[in-house]
Structure 1
Amino acid sequence: MTHDRPGFSIRERIPYDPIIGRRFRLPGGARVAVWTIVNVETWDPAGAMPRNVLSPPMGQPLLPDIPNWAWHEYGMRVGFWRFVDVLATRGLKASFAVNGSAIATYPAACAAARDAGWDFMGHGYVQGPMHGVADQAMAIRETVDAIRSFTGKPVRGWESPGLTETSDTVDLLAEAGIEYVADWVLDDQPVFIRTRAGDIVSVPYTVEVNDVVLSAIQQQPSDAILQRGRDQFNRLYQEGASIPRVMAISIHPYLTGVPHRIRYLEALYDHILAHEGVLMCTGAEILDIFKSQTGDKS
């Protein structure tokens, strides 16, 4: 396992900086930039599942865990294609947080994301916490290489599995050429994070307008992504009149891609799109807006 090297403390990496008084602005005077993150992961059918919908009989874990593996696999066979349709019919592009190993496991889905012009982000090589990765630098490199070989483009963004980082993950990401991360959910605007290789940008992500939390952890009703997402957007839109904001919507094919939830995602997008002064973005586009105003400090 990678041992953390001496470096910056978290407070040194990202000093406290209140949102008031900043100069960040969105093009055209927009109030809110909204980006969608579609998460695609490889779950090993022979191993323990990262999450489950069905607890094991008598409380005894069993392998292979066919019911919970199949729950996820449905998302890649069926649910993912609902996302493709929902986004395409509204002229939207997603950021595609993908395990490096998923490029080979789910080539048709990855090709659809590439052909739709989605912004590919690294999401670890396999689905598991960064703390358990034996060699983080190699796993990051393998993920970046797999995506770059498939898309022909550099990988600019990263979302760690479960948003997990050790104390030097962000250094390793910057050293691998990653420009922005989604792990640091602490602001409504992009901010710089200090690393050994220069600054990297934190693009605002979400743990609460996120179907893992809503559907898999909190087990909220099927319409929760609409109810919570609409409330989130409405408040950010109100505040964005004076201080522009960024809103993230994080979705997974096996959760929001199922028949009883997908219409609520559609309704959320239609609510957002009915407002003027909204910029529908990818993570890389938000990064570029921020860097154009601050200068590239990396």
Structure 2
Amino acid sequence: MHPRQRLDFGSPFRRSPLKSTDGTRLIIWPVVNIEEWEIERPMPRQASPPPGGAAGAVPDMPNWTWHEYGMRVGFWRLFEAFEKRKIRPTISINAKVCDTCPEVPTAARDAGWEFMAHCYVQMPIHRVDDEAAMIRQSTERLSQFLGRNASGWLGPGRTQTFETLDHVAAAGIRWFGDWILDDQPVWVKTKHRSLVSIPYTVEINDITVMVSGQHESDALLKRAKDAFARLYAESEQSVRIMAFGVHPYVSGAAHRIRYFEEMLDFFGQHQGVSFWTGDQIYEWFLTQSCPPGGRF
């Protein structure tokens, strides 16, 4: 099914305004990406360019250990920053992390963080042999770990095939963050029932800014402030959502963590700004809009 067959065209500048009952006008959706990089595969990303002739070499020890730093050190810096400010983020997590590095998801679970399914290991969905089976494996492993079902889905690198959302809906997911096409939630049709697309981000994201762009350590903070200013102004008429995505091996680095903390503090200084999880956004959106055909 083509994406344009799954949702109606619309714009937050033209559709009926979205409101909240608690005075929230700009919702901040914080997402921490917790990934499993299998050393038997080429690494999903590279901080260290390979020596000549070694592109795609396995094992890629330099970049695997870069990611491992995030699990051992960077995550705990992010964890402390959120806990100090009493912010409950969403973690988009590869389910295999529950087995390979359980200390990290255990700390998040015990702190009340929200879990969003993020494939089983970090690899493009297009390279998965059985997409439906992988999605079931991911959601079932998280359910075992949490003692309840995860409600949201984010594909690795936000990758999808034309069938992904049908498989996601069949697995019991209610909302997803792959489509970065709006500043408000929208309903999306599948073969089974309607899902909610919650606006995620590719540009208020430390991979784009720090890894792809190789900008200075404070660049994500500066870009976030600029985006916030415009969305906050627009949210006076209709609620907007501003997501940000961070990774422990990037924003949790010693030379970046202070700017991440400053970003959280900047958001929190403004009236009418709330940090919400994906489920909170989903439940609020249900009070604002009905799914196409009334099907959940």
User: TM-score band, normalised by the shorter chain?
Assistant: over 0.9
How many equivalent residue pairs? 291
Answering whether residue 214 of structure 2 is matched by residue 194 of structure 1, we say: no
Superposition deviation, residue 23 in structure 1: 3.5
Answering whether residue 2 of structure 2 is matched by residue 33 of structure 1, we say: no
Two-structure CA RMSD over aligned residues (Å): 1.1
Task: Name the structure 2 match of 1:18.
Answer: 11
Give, in whole Å, the separation in 1 of the partners of 2:21 and 2:49.
48
Give, in whole Å, the separation in 1 of the partners of 2:22 and 2:263.
23
Give, in whole Å, the separation in 1 of the partners of 2:210 and 2:32.
15
Give structure 1 regions of 4+ aligned residues with deviation exceeding 6 angstroms: none
User: Where does the alignment leave 5 or more consecutive residues of structure 1 unmatched?
Assistant: 1-7
> What does the per-residue CA deviation read over 1:232-287, in whole Å, with 9 as the maximum and x for residues that have no partner?
11111111111210000100000001000011111011111000001110111101
Secondary structure of the residue aligned to 1:259 is coil
Give, in whole Å, the separation in 2 of the partners of 1:74 and 1:275.
34
> What does the per-residue CA deviation read over 1:121-171, in whole Å, with 9 as the maximum and x for residues that have no partner?
100011111111111111011101111101111110000001000001001
Give, in whole Å, the separation in 1 of the partners of 2:18 and 2:171.
27
What letter is aligned with 1:44?
Answer: E
Give, in whole Å, the separation in 1 of the partners of 2:53 and 2:266.
42
Q: 1:205 aligns with which of 191, 196, 200?
A: 200
Cα distance change of structure 1 residues 233 and 218 upon mapping to structure 2, 3 Å threshold: same
> What does the per-residue CA deviation read over 1:14-63, in whole Å, with 9 as the maximum and x for residues that have no partner?
12112123242233232200011110111112321000011111242232
Answering whether residue 177 of structure 2 is matched by residue 182 of structure 1, we say: yes
Answering whether residue 147 of structure 2 is matched by residue 138 of structure 1, we say: no
CA contact (8 A) 1:26 1:33 kept: no
CA contact (8 A) 1:181 1:200 kept: yes
Within-5 A mapping of 1:23-172: 23-61=17-55, 62-172=57-167
User: Where does the alignment leave 5 or more consecutive residues of structure 2 unmatched?
Assistant: none
CA contact (8 A) 1:204 1:246 kept: yes
Tell me the TM-score normalised to structure 2 length: 0.96
CA contact (8 A) 1:156 1:284 kept: yes
Secondary structure of the residue aligned to 1:293 is coil
Once the two structures are overlaid, the 10-residue window that deviates more, 259-268 or 288-297, is 288-297
Give, in whole Å, the separation in 2 of the partners of 1:63 and 1:10.
36
Answering whether residue 225 of structure 2 is matched by residue 236 of structure 1, we say: no
Give, in whole Å, the separation in 2 of the partners of 1:176 and 1:145.
9
CA contact (8 A) 1:189 1:203 kept: yes
Tell me the TM-score normalised to structure 1 length: 0.95
Superposition deviation, residue 214 in structure 1: 0.8
Give, in whole Å, the separation in 1 of the partners of 2:23 and 2:231.
14
> What does the per-residue CA deviation read over 1:80-134, in whole Å, with 9 as the maximum and x for residues that have no partner?
0011100000010111100011110110000011011111010001111111111
> What does the per-residue CA deviation read over 1:161-205, in whole Å, with 9 as the maximum and x for residues that have no partner?
010000010011011110000001000000001100111000010
What letter is aligned with 1:46?
Answer: E
Give, in whole Å, the separation in 1 of the partners of 2:289 and 2:168.
21
Give, in whole Å, the separation in 2 of the partners of 1:115 and 1:287.
22
Secondary structure of the residue aligned to 1:170 is helix
Answering whether residue 263 of structure 2 is matched by residue 273 of structure 1, we say: no
Task: Name the structure 1 match of 2:213.
Answer: 218
What letter is aligned with 1:226?
Answer: L
